[in-house]
Amino acid sequence: MSQEFEVLNTVNDITNAGPVAQEIALHKGALITVDLSVASFLPLSFGMLKQAALGTTVIMNVTNDGDKTAFLTLNKKASAANGTVARALEEELLLKRVGDKALCHFYLPISPALSMDGAIRVSSDDTSVTGTPILFQGMVVEKGRGEAVLEIEATAVPPNAPTVLITSAENAHSTFP
């Protein structure tokens, strides 16, 4: 099976919003589709975070512009105890000591036709996971693409109850400080 791609400006930007970047993301399973015309909750898998921590950039694909917030969730399974998400994050991301961190990269190749008034945030229903950082918010058409880094830090590790703090370096083009 043969595939054809239209490749634009790959000398300077191979993470362009074109089909090559999308094909790479789809192949690696690192593409998240977000609709900002409705408030939504999208699960963020441990596998995707592990890939992102190991160097794969997660590509955000905004299909509809809007002023709503999309939450990428790291939630517990039904009836699971608090601490299960924090423990899984520490195990999957090899956070063995207090202060160990994993950096996960996200890229937003937004279409110039969208202004993205809404926001993309990360959250968890596990009280042992603190922080609900903004990845992208308030993008403008002229600077309609960018990167964000999600930082996951171990704040307590076994034998104590595991806890993690999630923060982000907001997108450089955010309208918020």
pTM: 0.77
Indicate the length of the chain as a whole number. Answer: 177
Average pLDDT over every residue of 133-137? 85
Percent share of the chain, pLDDT over 70 = 71
Helix (H) or strand (E) holding 22: helix 19-28
End-to-end Cα distance, the chain: 48
pLDDT digits (tens, 9 = 90+) for 70-117: 999 999 999 999 999 999 999 999 999 999 999 998 888 755 556 667
Phi-psi region of 20 (alpha: psi -120 to 50; beta: other; left: phi over 0): alpha
- pLDDT for residue 173 is more than 70: no
| φ and ψ at residue 50, rounded to 5 degrees | -65, -45
What pLDDT, on a 0 to 100 scale, did the predictor assign at position 116? 65
Q: What are the structural domain ranges in the chain? A: 19-169
